[in-house]
Amino acid sequence: MTMAHGPDELTIMLRERTASPPANPRRGEQAAARGRRALRRRRACGAALSAGAVAAVVALPGLTGDGGAPADVTPMSVRLPPAVPLPGTAGDLRLPLAASARYTHMGEPVRLTFTALSVDTVYNVRCSVPDSWLVVESESPGRETSIGRCGPQDHLAQYDRQSAGPAWAGRAHTWRLRVLPPGTRVDTATFTFGKVTVQPGAWAVGIYDRRR
Amino acid sequence: MTDRSGFTDYVEEHSDRLLRTAYLLTRDWGRAEDLLQTALAKAWIVWGRVSDDPAPYVYRIMTNTHASWWRRRWRGEVPTAALPEHAGPDPAAAFDDRDSMWTALAALSPRQRAVIVLHYFEALPLTRVAEILGCSHSSVKTQQRRALARLRIDPALRALKEVG
């Protein structure tokens, strides 16, 4: 295919797209507050460890995974779908759905165990409630926690050889996933979040993979 | 005690620009604000170490955090297989082309997008981009070449125009 543009057009496009940023006069103050909170947590964590305590840094309702909803469930007035469908394939490689799970409520942590068949594994989380928070923690050592918004668009991501690493393909992995209501206070700097309420809100997670 | 006296001034002076960079990485103003505040909060913590030149640190945190949030993420905005090509300099076509580029930008890996944004928006030289991303100059050039190919950008076009 013929190359159509020069780098100047790229720069112009990038400038045009960012022409009207929303103002936030409190940004510095808010960022400093986040920093202070992170520092406090870090110090609290350090103090607890130095005292030999074995304790969770953040205690959240619903962490036991027993499926029981806490008493402060907030009813929602909007009509939500009872279940979220997942596409049969995903990604450029059109990988088939290898594992999936569907849930009807947000706020409860769930565990998902699957075996990676390749280094191209795709995961897709679909959330029915716009701007929900998605937290993905891996129980495999050395893998980062990922946190971001989910819904109305898919949260779709794919590993590659570099990000998967040598300990990915052919092994079982367990993830702990949480979809949190949009209003949950989340600190993306420290991967921590405030009080979580269990609410109706369908979501689904699919693992797409194919053995090479 | 860390001296953070210059932090507020830095944010006031630079954060609009940084927010634009974050937006180009995330394509969503709300997520961009989250990403920027994440980076600024981390910079606030180590301000004593980075206050002389905070920009590389803030860029590094933004690009790494964005990559860890989304890795190679699609958001249903995959570029069309056949991008429109135009024979003449039709102004309307220029807008279409930029729309196509914007759509194609979404399909780049976080690393490729970071290279494009830091080099073509922030106007940082590739050596500086390599320092920020913590990789070699040749690796950045490879990412740049692949990204430009996906964006249908020919680096030689500017040179030809300048000569002409």
Asked whether residue A136 is domain-assigned, the answer is yes
Beta bridge partners of A99: A207
Token output for B52: 């002389």
Same domain for A137 and A39? no
Domains assigned to chain B = 1-73 (1.10.1740), 90-164 (1.10.10.10)
% helix, strand, coil for chain A, step of 5: 20, 30, 50
**For A74-107, b where at least 16 C-beta lie within 10 A, e where not — what string?**
eeeeeeeeeebebeeebbeeebebbeeeebebbb
Same domain for A37 and A102? no
Residue with structure tokens 């390749």? A118
pLDDT at A4: 63
pLDDT at B70: 55
Same domain for A96 and A54? no
Domain with A38, as residue range(s), is: 29-58
Same domain for A49 and A97? no
| Residues of chain B neighbouring A131 (CB-CB closer than 8 A) | 30
Identify the domain boundary among A39, A58, A77.
A58
Asked whether residue A170 is domain-assigned, the answer is yes
| B86–A27 C-beta distance less than 8 A | no
d(CA B76, CA B69): 17
Segment B12-31 shows an average pLDDT of 92
Same domain for A54 and A93? no
Same domain for A52 and A148? no
d(CA A50, CA A211): 45
Whether the pLDDT of residue A126 is over 60: the answer is: yes
Same domain for A54 and A97? no
Identify the domain boundary among A11, A37, A58.
A58
What is this model's ipTM? 0.80
| Residues of chain A neighbouring B153 (CB-CB closer than 8 A) | 3, 5-7, 9-10
Q: Give the count of domains, chain A.
A: 2
Whether the pLDDT of residue B75 is over 70: the answer is: no
Same domain for A100 and A155? yes
| Residues of chain A neighbouring B28 (CB-CB closer than 8 A) | 149
Same domain for A103 and A203? yes
Domain CATH code at residue A171:
2.60.120.380
Same domain for A198 and A98? yes
Determine how many CB atoms are found less than 10 A away from the CB of residue A118.
Answer: 19
Same domain for A39 and A121? no
- A35 in contact with chain B, both atoms CB, cutoff 8 A: yes
pLDDT single digits (tens) A145-197: 778 888 777 777 878 777 777 888 998 888 999 999 988 888 776 677 888 88
Same domain for A160 and A204? yes
Q: How many beta-carbon contacts under 8 Å exist across A and B?
A: 169
| A28–B15 C-beta distance less than 8 A | yes
pLDDT single digits (tens) B112-129: 999 999 999 999 999 999
